Structures are given as C-alpha cells and as structure tokens.
C-alpha cells in the first residue's frame, strides 16, 4: 500500500474513470463509468419493469431464450473484485445491401446496432488504458440501454430507443466490468428526451401501434423487430407492407426529430448478384454458399442471421413488387 502511495498510483487512480472517458472520447467514442454500487438499483429498475408489466414476463422469457440475454447484476466470477461498470457508445450508420433480381435492384436496410465491428475498437481503447494502469476489463451482461440512461450517457425516447445528444439513435452500446476505481458520480434518475414532451411522431407512425403515448417502453411483443429477428413465421395481423428493413425496423427512428441530422447516414454494405440473390431466396444453406457470398454477409454481420435472411428478403422484394407475400 505504502509502495503504491509512494509511486502516486493511488492518487492517479482517482482519475481513472475520468481519464478512461477521455480516452474513449479522443478515439471518437463515448463512455461513462459508474460504480458497481449501483448494480442493485439497476436490478431493481429492471425488476420493477417486470412487476408493473411494462415489460411482459412471457416476452422477456422468450428474449432470454432466443438471445441468451440472462442479465447478471453481480460482478462476474472472472472479475469478482469489479468496482466499476463502463458503458460505451460507438456511432453506427444504417447499412444498405443491394440485391439484384430479375433485372431489378432491391435494397435491404440494416439498422444501426446490428453491425459489431465497432466493439473491438472500443474494447481496444479500454483495454489499452486499463492495462497500462494494471486494471482488468470483461464483458458485463447488464441491460445496456437502462445503464446508459442511468449513467447520463443517453436518454430514452418514447419509442424505448436511447438517444445521445448530437448522435441521435445512431450508435451501439456495450457494457463492461472493470476493477478500476470509480470516484466520479454520474448516476442519475431515469430521464427521457425533452423533445418527447411535445412530440408523438413515433406513436403515430408505428405501424403496429407498439408505442403508447403514456409510457416509455414499447409493447415489444407487437414490435416488428421482435418478429423479424425470430425464426417463426410472421403472424397474419402483420401487414406485409409494414416491413422496411432486412432485419429490425427503422420507422420510429426515421420519423424522430432527434434523428433529423442522421437519417440520411446510410453506408453501402454489399452487393449481391442475381445468382447470389436466388441462392439466398431458395434457401441454399449457409455452408453451401460460395465463399465470397459468405464473406460479404459476414462483413455486415448477417451470416449469423442467415436463417432469417430468406424470409426477410422475400417480404421486402414482394413489397416492392407489390405482390404481397405468396
């Protein structure tokens, strides 16, 4: 202890959280560090959502089994001395994939957050800084949106999407545990965007009526995203013309005034020839696709969701053709 004080390490460590946030900022990311002392509050926030029914228990159970999202509100066994939680945000555009088919081009949008390539870059910044200070970092399985709002990094919109000033909703969140000390106190009450006080654009535009005026949690069991991320067929009440993305849905984000400077941020992801599009639509198995097709899908992180691609691409093509789902 004396040795550490003599070297000034403990004095320096008081600034660890601030300096880490600065490092992330300099690298083009955003981050907040909060103490693990707040984990019980995060857990009770989440439990309250389930108790009040704002988050449907059956729906939550389905999500847990589908994505393995079993939140853990304790430091993990690999880092039991964790004293801080780091929540980060990395800007991401929408990605456009072009599919050639029958002499036409069809475009499928992948919303921000589905592409993981920023994760490694964020973790590199964190690891480098913490390694230099002899601290460790590991993934945290905590509700990232809730943590982002409680840490002051983001605010909720009425559509239950999180927003960051200047970035809109065009970013991906990640959370980590660390044994670095956290002396800075960002923790705050749950906050929604002020814009939402006088706006109901997303409520009016949501095709499935999943967003209510009086609550800030969508009825996720009605959200298009829930269905097109799942492997079951679409229920009959979903109008085929509502589909607007290859996966997920951008309608409530595209109409949101907080995104007015970001909605046109669309990057080309990959282009698929007639032959490749036919293979996808005919359900050629992932392993039987040509290597270059797999590479293109992997580049936009769609190889993991390949089983959904045939169905989701077909509804988008049918929508454009105006023929509905056959």
Q: Does 212 bind ligand SF4 (CB under 6 A)?
A: no
Using the rule CB under 6 A, which residue among 157, 168, 181, 269 binds ligand SF4? 157
CA distances from 181 to 14, 39, 142, 229 (A): 7, 15, 19, 38
Closer by beta carbon to ligand SF4, 94 or else 158: 158
Closer by beta carbon to ligand SF4, 34 or else 223: 223
Q: Does 257 bind ligand SF4 (CB under 6 A)?
A: yes
Query: How far, in Å, CA of 320 to CA of 59, rounded?
Result: 31
Pairing of strands 94-101, 266-272: parallel
Query: How far, in Å, CA of 64 to CA of 249, rounded?
Result: 20
Q: Does 256 bind ligand SF4 (CB under 6 A)?
A: yes
> Shortest Cβ distance from residue 49 to ligand SF4 (Å)?
16
Residue among 69, 210, 58, 85 at smallest CA distance from 140: 85
Structure tokens at 250: 């951008």
What is the SS3 assignment for 73? coil
Measured from each CB, the residue nearest to ligand SF4 is 157
Q: Does 199 bind ligand SF4 (CB under 6 A)?
A: yes
Q: Does 247 bind ligand SF4 (CB under 6 A)?
A: no
For residues 179 to 198, the per-residue mask of contacts with ligand SF4, x marking binding by CB under 6 A and - elsewhere, is --------------x-xx--
As to burial, measured by CB atoms within 10 angstroms (0-12 exposed, 13-18 middle, 19+ buried), residue 98 is middle
The residues of the shown chain that bind ligand SF4, judged by CB under 6 A, are 157-159, 193, 195-196, 199-202, 206, 208, 210-211, 218, 223-225, 249, 251-252, 255-258
């Amino acid at each position: 202890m004396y040795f550490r004080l003599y070297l000034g390490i403990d004095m320096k460590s008081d600034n660890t959280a601030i300096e880490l946030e600065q490092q992330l900022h300099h690298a083009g990311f955003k981050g907040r560090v909060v103490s693990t002392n707040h984990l019980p509050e995060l857990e009770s926030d989440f439990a309250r959502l389930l108790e009040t029914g704002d988050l449907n228990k059956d729906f939550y159970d389905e999500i847990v089994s589908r994505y393995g999202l079993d939140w853990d509100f304790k430091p993990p066994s690999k880092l039991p001395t964790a004293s801080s939680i780091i929540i980060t945000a990395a800007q991401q555009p929408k990605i456009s994939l072009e599919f050639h088919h029958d002499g036409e081009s069809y475009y499928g949008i992948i919303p921000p957050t589905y592409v993981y390539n920023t994760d490694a870059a964020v973790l590199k910044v964190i690891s480098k800084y913490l390694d230099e200070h002899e601290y460790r970092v590991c993934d945290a399985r905590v509700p990232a949106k809730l943590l982002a709002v409680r840490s002051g990094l983001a605010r909720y919109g009425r559509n239950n999407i999180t927003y960051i000033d200047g970035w809109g909703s065009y970013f991906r969140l990640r959370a980590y545990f660390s044994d670095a000390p956290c002396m800075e106190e960002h923790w705050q009450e749950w906050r929604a965007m002020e814009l939402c006080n006088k706006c109901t654009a997303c409520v009016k535009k949501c095709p499935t009526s999943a967003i209510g005026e009086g609550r800030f949690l969508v009825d996720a069991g009605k959200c298009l995203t829930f269905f097109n991320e799942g492997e079951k067929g679409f229920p009959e009440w979903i109008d085929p013309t509502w589909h607007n993305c290859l996966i997920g849905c951008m309608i409530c984000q595209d109409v949101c005034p907080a995104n007015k400077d970001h909605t046109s941020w669309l990057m080309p992801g990959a282009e698929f020839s007639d032959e490749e599009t036919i293979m996808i639509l005919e359900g050629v198995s992932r392993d039987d696709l040509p290597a270059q097709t797999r590479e293109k899908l992997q580049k936009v992180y769609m190889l993991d969701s390949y089983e959904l691609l045939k169905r989701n691409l077909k509804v988008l093509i049918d929508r454009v053709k105006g023929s509905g789902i056959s």
